[in-house]
Amino acid sequence: MSTSKPSLKALASLAVALAGAAVAMIFFIAPEDADQGLSQKIFYVHVPIALTAYACFGLGAWKALRLLQTRGERYDFESYTGIHQGTIFGALTLLTGSIWAKASWGVWWTWSSNQLVLFLVLFLFYCAYFMLRFSIAPGPQRERISAVYALFGVALIPVSFFAIRLASDFIHPTVFTRDGPQMTGEMFAAFCTAWAAITLLAYVMYRTELAGKRTDLNLRELREMLAQ
């Protein structure tokens, strides 16, 4: 592991501390929303999870681009791990979003909201990434095909993100507008803390998963060498 990177233990501790601070701010400092009441508190976990999913998919695509540029094998694992994290956070986005929809709109899902449907398309697109990847034998061909697929998916991220602003249904709330965040200072501080905690947690998970996958690969190579 590179010594220039901050230690995983320190980052994990910071993520836990930030998560604790975020929970305290969300439930004890941030005021209750006048319109939605208590159910608006789901916003502080749902939106950061969604933004983290976008970031993970973006990271996966960036590593895929680096793989195609340099042919560096390590980028294949990094891209795969980023997309795996993005899919997990994407599933969480859909789950927490469904719960919030039921609390606010009275339905678990609505096909009339472009934001929801586009996020589902993005999620399913990256789910198909795993089917593609594991249908090809390991090697340079699989690395390149997976990288190209990962790069195609990144185009859906801005479409999904800005769909809410372009949509005409206005079912999904728009909190961040050109005039800034439509919430009080306490709410915004709680949101930023929750966002930082979840992003950091995702990064810790990314590095842990990557270390596990690399160790797995090294052990497999070692076993093959010892078996000869």
Partner 1 sequence: MSSGEKYVAAAYGVFLVFVLVWAAIIAAKLSRLERETGELVRLARARPATGEDADG
Of residues 47-86, those binding partner 1 (CB under 8 A): 49
Stretch that binds partner 1, among 98-106, 108-116, 139-147, 164-172 (CB under 8 A): 98-106
Minimum CB distance to partner 1, residue 166 (Å): 27
Please, what is the minimum distance in Å from the beta carbon of residue 177 to partner 1? 24
For residue 200, the one-letter residue type is L
Binding mask 20-49 for partner 1 (x = CB under 8 A): -----------------xxx-xx--xx--x
From the CB of 80, what's the least distance to partner 1, in Å? Answer: 16
Binding site for partner 1 (CB under 8 A): 37-39, 41-42, 45-46, 49, 88, 92, 95-96, 99-100, 102-103, 201, 205, 208-209, 212, 215-216, 219, 222-223, 226
